Amino acid sequence: MRKQTRNIISGYLLILPALLLIFLILVYPLIQTVLLSLQEVKLASLSRQTFVGLKNYLTIFTFQGPGFFTQVLPATFYFVGGSIAGQLGFGLAIALLVNQKWVRGKDIFRAIFILPWVTSAIVIAISWRFMYEPRLGVLNYLLVLFGAVNLPSWLNDLNLVMPCLVIANVWHGTAFSFTLQTAGLQSIPYELYEAATVDGAGAGQKFRYVTLPLIRPFIMINLVLISMYTVNFFDLIYAMTGGGPLYRTEVIAVFLYHQAFEYGYMGRGAAVAVLILLINLLLTLLYMRLNRERVAEQKR
């Protein structure tokens, strides 16, 4: 056997344990989920499975309480879109501020600011529920101090409940965006800003032509991770509203939980899980295509 062939075989043998681990943790559960979505399986009798093809998907698409296309998907995209805009925007703004040379106590601020991200989502949900409580909550107490009379019910208000969840999630996840964008900003050589200053560029021009192009990869990674994390988000929403009122906060992850574990239809739950995977895949491909088109425009 030639030395080159031996080296190739040795290389594959060295990565074989990692490949097996990836298969067992990622690929095998994915295959089982797809197969389960094609079966009629109930939580009370998992051993009895009947092949039904795409029936579970058709049932989900025609489900009335809540409607998948009329309530679940709109609630999901509202929550995901608001969370992305808030976390990315606030994270980048605070990272830009803290990255300035005249700011003191940066390390202490970063250590404190990351606390919401490492705190359990259940703890955060309980804290925000208390703040949103109509009679004893902090928010209504402050409104009373300012003379408000008609106090909002927050989580029981059909128009306010989703913005309340978005605000709580933005507070929870902004620290991650801040950390990632801070890494991007610190990777930019300061000499580029000095050169831009010599050329007469202002603060806005420096951000547009120096900062933004160089941190674009970090922004793209941040968008993908926030999107995937928020589409799969469950615990904070379920602990705060349980999907209510009137299914207004029934995002797709909560919908999966209800189908699989409250109603007991594991096949339907697996079908929703496959749909979540497809949504994450479509969002990732969309971001990658937009980034590729932007890079191609800059090279012209």
Task: Classify 51 as helix, strand or coil.
Answer: strand
Q: Residue 141 falls within a domain, yes or no? A: yes
pLDDT value of position 295: 67
pLDDT value of position 104: 86
Q: What is the pTM of this model?
A: 0.89
Q: Residue 44 falls within a domain, yes or no? A: no
Task: Kindly indicate the confidence band of residue 169, based on its pLDDT and cuts at 50, 70 and 90.
Answer: very high
Q: Residue 233 falls within a domain, yes or no? A: yes
pLDDT value of position 258: 94
Taking residues 162-184, report their average pLDDT.
94
Give the chain's domain count. 1
249 pLDDT exceeds 70?
yes
What's the CATH number where 75 sits? 1.10.3720.10
pLDDT value of position 1: 59
CA distances for 172 relative to 117, 233, 275, 277, 280, angstroms: 5, 12, 26, 23, 21
Q: Quote the mean pLDDT of the chain.
A: 90
Q: Residue 84 falls within a domain, yes or no? A: yes
Q: Residue 261 falls within a domain, yes or no? A: yes
Among 226, 227, 280, 235, smallest CA distance to 253 is for: 235
Percent of the chain with pLDDT over 70: 98
Is the Cβ–Cβ distance between 65 and 250 less than 8 Å? no
Domain around 153: 59-187+214-299
Q: Residue 9 falls within a domain, yes or no? A: no
pLDDT value of position 190: 86
Tens-digit pLDDT profile for residues 190-213: 888 888 888 888 888 988 889 998
- Centroid of chain to Cα 207: 26
